[in-house]
Structure 1
Amino acid sequence: MKKPTLKPAFIPHLVCNIFGHKFEVSKNVTYHVKEYQCTHCKKQMTTNSNGNLIPLTAKYKKINSVLEHIYNKKELRLQEKSYASSIN
């Protein structure tokens, strides 16, 4: 009879269960909204409207994508406006 072996994916989850997650920023959506990923178990989180960490679901991925698109358009428009006013 074979002995059960620990799966490699089990160990990172065990580390996170004992010591807690070690989240690092994986993506800056805006200056105040970020996406995080645990370095051990690869769990993904994001910030909600109150600034709390919540799991990154498909719904929040779509929200962050749209928010990033709007934010980038605004930043580009502000840069162009700033450039145009510096020329005059």
Structure 2
Amino acid sequence: MKLFTCKIKGHKLTTIKKDSILIKEFECINCKKKFTTDGYGKVVKLNSYWEQNNLLFEQLQKRQKAQAS
């Protein structure tokens, strides 16, 4: 029943990762699927490609902060 709710009304997203300002990760309350934002700000499904991309981007940000300090 929960999957039908998402198909009809759309996903109810809550943020699950707030570490980065630029990268946001979301999870649907109903179906527990995970989503993220791409480079253009669109919400896309969080698959292995986007997980790896987000990790690399976070590491890059940490290095830049460490060098700035």
Q: Same fold (TM over 0.5)?
A: yes
Q: Which has the larger radius of gyration?
A: 1
SS in 1 for 2:2: helix
Q: Which runs of 4+ in 1 moved over 3 A?
A: none
Structure 2 residue runs of 5 or longer lacking an equivalent are: none
1:15-72 CA-partner distances (Å, limit 9, x unpaired): 2122210011111352121111101101111111111111111011001011111112
Q: Give the partner amino acid of 1:67.
A: F
Identity %: 26
Aligned CA RMSD, in angstroms, stands at 1.5
Larger deviation, residues 48-57 vs 28-37: 28-37
- Alignment match, 1:3: none
What does residue 66 of structure 1 align with?
56
**Counterpart residue type for residue 51 of structure 2:** K
The yes-or-no answer on 1:57 pairing with 2:24 is no
AA in 2 matched with 1:69 = Q
Alignment match, 2:36: 46
**Structure 2 length as normaliser, TM-score?**
0.84
